[in-house]
Amino acid sequence: MAGSSGEPASDHRQILSIGDAAQRLEALDQHLRTRSYVQGYSLSQADVDAFRQFSVPPSDLRFPHVVRWFRHVQAVLGGPGQPCALQASKGRRGQPQWSPPTGTEPCQLRLYNSLTRSKEVFIPQDGRKVTWYCCGPTVYDASHMGHARSYISFDILRRVLKDYFKYDVFYCMNITDIDDKIIKRARQNHLWERYQAQQPQPAQLLEDVQAALQLFSAKLSETSDPYKRQLLQRTQRFVELAMELLTRALQAAPTAPETSSCAQELLEEARDLLSEWLDTRLGGEVTDNSIFSELPKFWEEAFHKDMAALNVLPPDVLTRVSEYVPEIVSFVEKIVDNGYGYASNGSVYFDTKKFASSPNHSYGKLVPEAVGDQKALQEGEGDLSISADRLSEKRSPNDFALWKASKPGEPSWPCPWGKAHFENDCWVRYFLHTGHLTIAGCKMSKSLKNFITIQDALKEHSARQLRLAFLMHSWKDTLDYSSNTMESALQYEKFMNEFFLNVKDILRAPVDVTGQFEKWEKEEVELNRNFYQRKAAVHAALCDNVDTRTALEEMRALVGQCNLYIAARKAARRRPNRALLQSAGLYLTHMLRIFGAIEEDGSMGFPVGGRGPSLDLEATVMPYLQALSEFREGVRRIAREKQVSEVLQLSDALRDDIMPELGVRLEDHEGLPTVVKLVDREALLAEREEKRRVEEEKRRRKEEAARKRQEQEAAKLAKMRVPACEMFLSERDKYSQFDDSGLPTHDADGKELSKGQSKKLRKLWEAQERLHQEYLQRLTNGSA
């Protein structure tokens, strides 16, 4: 401690004997102010004694000399209370003690668990490996938007867990290709096709439809659901109308082509009724098992095509019920062996009472309030399992079928009983259920015939737009599929796409290597701070039950801040910071790719032209488009200088008519280079047509306003032409006598007008007199 100062070493101990801590530190700081700490400095015993009196390192920055002195001594001796090491450390200077930053507690992924009905911290059983079983479709008809709601939502969750949180996800999905609905639909389709091939005569058709209507009417009377009842009544009305038309045609001309046409129309209208009727009469005769496999095979293939069109990742493994019958049999046998299942008349049922009474198990823990709900149980077991004989086989009405004995007209597999398995109370820890999709507030379902198929939806909107609509809503809540929902998704897509196009235009501007790294001003610092805040907010949202709605809003806010920054830079004629905007653009692209809204790896933003090799389209053609744009810009500049309007018109036609047909948008900005954007051709043409429609509507309104003004002016002029003395003379139905100036004095009945009436008419007369005098003045001036 600067031995050349000549100050006594005892000063340290004297100062540290001061009672008040603040005064003690201040005195020591003043004492040490003149000292210097250099390599090779030798500690004195006074330094050591003073150092040992500190229980914790001093941290008050008001006393910098004390802090520096303490750190220096500590580097030589070690921490307070350690043995003195003067001889070993003499002439050496060590590193100061290091401590890590306090930091913040990282947020944990929480998922809404239907089992607990709350958000639970997600903790896989085996490190980062996640085994996920997803309930797949029952394949007996076209996939609809209700399916899209489930499988897109699960695809988003799967991608976020795998690509964002970096879990190793093993995704298994089943295909239900053996089910009462499939059996019944396949059998009815077969019987319907056979009936149709027989080409029944019109009279026979009427008789059969009448019989089918009786069965249908009984079904209608048993239907309590008002919406379903309304649909059935509508079907009944259409069938009865078609029957009436055919009856009239038969009476008029039995062999006429019109009769054949009416019969064909009735056949189509009554298809569902006839199929149900035929099934009740002839269903037991259907024995060919191939009939029951062709239908699910066809619709499973259609389902996979729909999922691919929606950019839903395929499962790691797919389990079809029909391919796992031996394993199912073994599984059911184990449940019976465990005492939780029993055979009855060739079927096997799960003994709910026995299971509930077990000390190791809890029945109905997922939805305890549904225990005993016979309607839900019958719906789950299927249409073919609710007959009286089937219900009598159970020990309890709450028991449900694990294996069903086949009846005539149903497929069958060998099993120990005729021609839940693990002793673990909670072997599935997390249950995820997506919200329903509704149309006008009603649940979409095939049975209600109010569903929109995925193929029909894709004719109206792209897979990305449908996915964005789902991303903008919570995955576990009900989503109403409507034009407003889709319009929000379209606007979000357009907003993000314009940002990507603007950033790519900025990045295309020529710059040397060193010019890529520009000095940051306060605007860049502020934007970067906001960037990291938004990223943190997105992370917090995804940790919170994969809240994609909030995540997308935070991403929208980031784009809004970037847009403001770009606009301010352009207004100041300054180039925006390329690296910062590129970072933001790549981050947003990365997140949208994680969500599945960008199909494949590639450059920044949404790909142009769809999937596959066309993703390289932008990189390939943009240099040529940029050259064309710069040439056009030079021509426009010369044309303006030379005032060649024809060239300017051709330039505008290139921008407005020719390039949009190629999917290219040219944006002219006064005083700035033209912006070139490669956009989806159909979207650009639709945008152009909308612009033209708006302009045409504006022109039409302008012309309509001008026409009304002309009509009003003409009407005013016609009124001005009438002298005041003549204005009331034509109203003989109201007045019978007039004075010399043309003012009425008596009404139509000859009664003299009151003073109030006369005063009112006098005001009208005076106003007309002024108008007429103005007209005469116009005539004099030649302006009328």
Which region among 106-120, 227-241, 415-429, 632-646 has the lowest average model confidence (pLDDT)? 415-429
Residue bearing the bigger pLDDT, 505 or 162: 162
Place of tokens 């609509």: 469
Place of tokens 């668990």: 113
Concatenated DSSP letters for 228-246? HHHHHHHHHHHHHHHHHHH
Q: Is the model's pLDDT at 92 over the cut of 80? A: no
Beta bridge partners of residue 480, listed in sequence order = 438
Beta-sheet strands, E only, within 568-630: none
Average pLDDT over residues 270-292: 88
Percentage of the chain beyond pLDDT 90 is 34
User: Given pLDDT bands bounded at 50, 70 and 90, which one contains residue 10?
Assistant: very low
Q: Is the model's pLDDT at 78 over the cut of 70? A: no
Query: What is the pLDDT, as a whole number, of residue 429?
Result: 81
- DSSP-based three-state secondary structure for 745: strand
Query: What is the pLDDT, as a whole number, of residue 162?
Result: 95
583-623 pLDDT per residue, tens: 999 999 999 999 999 987 778 888 876 555 445 677 778 88
Residue bearing the bigger pLDDT, 445 or 473: 473
Average pLDDT over residues 119-127: 90
CA 706 to chain centre: 45
Q: Is the model's pLDDT at 382 over the cut of 60? A: no
Q: CA-based angle 155:159:161, to the nearest 5? A: 120
Average pLDDT over residues 338-362: 84
Query: What is the pLDDT, as a whole number, of residue 50?
Result: 73
Tokens of 535: 């990223």
Q: Is the model's pLDDT at 160 over the cut of 90? A: yes
Query: What is the pLDDT, as a whole number, of residue 85?
Result: 40
Q: Is the pTM of this model over 0.85?
A: no
User: Given pLDDT bands bounded at 50, 70 and 90, which one contains residue 388?
Assistant: low
Which whole-number Å values give the CA distances from 431 to 159, 176, 372, 555, 654, in the listed order? 17, 19, 21, 29, 57
Average pLDDT over residues 365-381: 64
If phi over 0 gives left and psi between -120 and 50 gives alpha, with beta otherwise, what is residue 168?
A: beta
Residue (of 704, 692, 622) closest to 662 by Cα position = 622
User: Given pLDDT bands bounded at 50, 70 and 90, which one contains residue 98?
Assistant: confident
CA 409 to chain centre: 44
Which region among 672-686, 714-728, 739-753 has the lowest average model confidence (pLDDT)? 672-686
Q: Is the model's pLDDT at 175 over the cut of 50? A: yes
CA 700 to chain centre: 37
Q: Is the model's pLDDT at 354 over the cut of 80? A: yes
Query: What is the pLDDT, as a whole number, of residue 91?
Result: 53
307-317 pLDDT per residue, tens: 999 999 999 99
Q: Is the model's pLDDT at 332 over the cut of 80? A: yes
395-408 pLDDT per residue, tens: 887 888 887 777 77
478-531 pLDDT per residue, tens: 889 888 999 999 999 999 999 999 999 888 877 777 777 888 999 999 999 999
Query: What is the pLDDT, as a whole number, of residue 610?
Result: 57
DSSP-H helix ranges across 643-680: 645-653, 659-661
736 contacts 751 by C-beta, under 8 angstroms:
no
- DSSP-based three-state secondary structure for 457: helix
DSSP-H helix ranges across 11-120: 11-15, 21-32, 45-52, 64-77, 86-89
Which whole-number Å values give the CA distances from 615 to 466, 598, 652, 680, in the listed order? 21, 11, 29, 12
Which region among 6-20, 130-144, 177-191, 259-273 has the lowest average model confidence (pLDDT)? 6-20
Q: Please give the Cα distance from 471 to 724 (Å, whole number).
A: 72
190 contacts 269 by C-beta, under 8 angstroms:
no
Query: What is the pLDDT, as a whole number, of residue 244?
Result: 92
Average pLDDT over residues 185-193: 91
Beta-sheet strands, E only, within 280-322: 317-320
Q: Work out the mean pLDDT of the chain and round it to a whole number.
A: 83
21-72 pLDDT per residue, tens: 667 677 777 766 655 544 445 567 777 777 777 767 776 667 777 777 777 7
For residue 607, which amino acid is it?
P
Query: What is the pLDDT, as a whole number, of residue 206?
Result: 92
- DSSP-based three-state secondary structure for 553: helix
Query: What is the pLDDT, as a whole number, of residue 384?
Result: 47
Query: What is the pLDDT, as a whole number, of residue 314?
Result: 95
Residue 80 per-residue DSSP state: T
Q: Is the model's pLDDT at 80 over the cut of 70? A: no
Q: Is the model's pLDDT at 555 over the cut of 90? A: yes
- H/E run at residue 400: strand 400-403
Which whole-number Å values give the CA distances from 93 to 42, 90, 778, in the listed order? 10, 8, 107
Which whole-number Å values give the CA distances from 185 to 64, 268, 272, 559, 569, in the listed order? 87, 17, 10, 51, 65
Query: What is the pLDDT, as a whole number, of residue 128?
Result: 92
Q: Is the model's pLDDT at 767 over the cut of 80? A: yes
Beta bridge partners of residue 110, listed in sequence order = 121, 544
Average pLDDT over residues 344-360: 83
Residue (of 200, 110, 206, 152) closest to 545 by Cα position = 110
407-445 pLDDT per residue, tens: 777 766 666 665 475 555 566 788 888 888 888 777 776
